[in-house]
Structure 1
Amino acid sequence: MEPENKGIDRKLFDYLYQSIETTPYYNLLGIHLNSVSKGEVVMSAMPEAKHANPMGFIHGGLVMSLLDAVMGNAVRSLGIKSVTVDISISFPKGGEFDKTLHAEGKVVHAGKQVIFAEGKVYSGKNIIGYGKGTFYKIGEIEL
């Protein structure tokens, strides 16, 4: 399924889409872009057996990676290059292997150098991960 551009510059959208779809780590985890709007991104991943922890549940690392991806790309949707400084995550419930994980990230404040974002990961209607992230601006995306 093609991702949806919900109102950002077409060149920036194409740049984000291409960079996300060709990121080796995202490919390893099966993370894909669903939609982008200014300061907000939706991504998804279908958990597989290889994403299980030793107890047979979806590994928190997959959920954490999805949160970092949606929050970081929400920052990039503003045309900002950044690096993750800090992420705080809670796992209120476990996910199910037969349901696609949907993640939503949004920028809550963009300062001159520091950007704050938050994200949620859903398995069906259940929130299985909630996170807050701090990102440091290293430049502007040049198109």
Structure 2
Amino acid sequence: MPRIATSVAELLSRDELLSMSGYDFMRGILEGTLPGPPIAQTMGYTLHAVEDGRVTFRGAPAFTVTNPMGTVHGGWYGTLLDSAMACAVMTKVPRGAVYTTLEYKINITRAIPLGMEIDCVGVVDHSGRSTGVASGEIRGVEDGKLYATGSTTCIIMTLKP
């Protein structure tokens, strides 16, 4: 049985990676030709949709992401929103460039019940040569209620071959 790659580094060289646009990279993850980030499995969410300037993750918090009071830890909301917002920015990153989060902020508006399926959508508000700004929301799939919002600024860096 062939071994399945567990990281992008196992599939692509640095040059191959930099030859892809951020949009193509994100589509590769969605289509399963590139592996998703391990944090998604740890946190219980998957990449659900990729569009130009917009990314959706879907998941449900499990008991493993609760705080000592048994409710969903704020870090789960933050990790999910950071992932969706930054990956939305990634869809705008040109070939030969990479990005990383400079800062992000979240507002939790209500507690997500354990096991409830949610969508976390990140949308690009601005994408320039050196920065990208995005906003995000976590909403219940069935109830449509807003559970958290966020905003981020990412740095976009052009790398030399």
TM-score normalized by structure 2?
A: 0.74
Closer, same or farther in 2 for the Cα pair 1:126/1:38, shift >3 Å? same
Distance 1:11 1:115 in 2: 17
SS in 2 for 1:96: coil
Structure 1 or 2: more strand by fraction? 1
Which has the greater radius of gyration? Answer: 2
Q: Over residues 50-104 of structure 1, what are the superposed CA-to-partner deviations in whole Å (9 max), with x where a residue is unaligned?
A: 1111111111111111101101110111235210001011111111113112100
Unaligned runs of 5+ in 2: 1-21
* Residue 128 in structure 1 maps to residue 147 in structure 2: yes
Structure 2 residue aligned with 1:4: none
State how far apart, in whole Å, the 2-side matches of 1:10 and 1:111 are.
15
The offset of 1:44, in angstroms, is: 1.2
Matches of 1:10 and 1:117 in 2, distance apart? Answer: 15
Contact 1:70–1:103 (8 Å) recurs in 2 = yes
Are residues 24 and 98 of structure 1, via their aligned partners in 2, closer, same or farther at CA, if it must alter by over 3 Å? closer
Superposed CA RMSD in Å reads 2.5
Unaligned runs of 5+ in 1: 1-8
Task: Pick the aligned partner of 2:43 from 5, 29, 48.
Answer: 29
Partner of 1:50: 64
Corresponding position: 1:102 with 2:119: yes
- Over 6 Å off, 4+ runs: none
Query: Aligned residues, how many?
Result: 134
Match of 2:108 among 87, 91, 95: 91
Asked whether the 8 Å contact 1:20–1:33 carries over to 2, the reply is no
**What TM-score does the superposition give when structure 1 sets the normalisation length?**
0.82
Mapped contact 1:32–1:45 kept (Cα < 8 A): yes
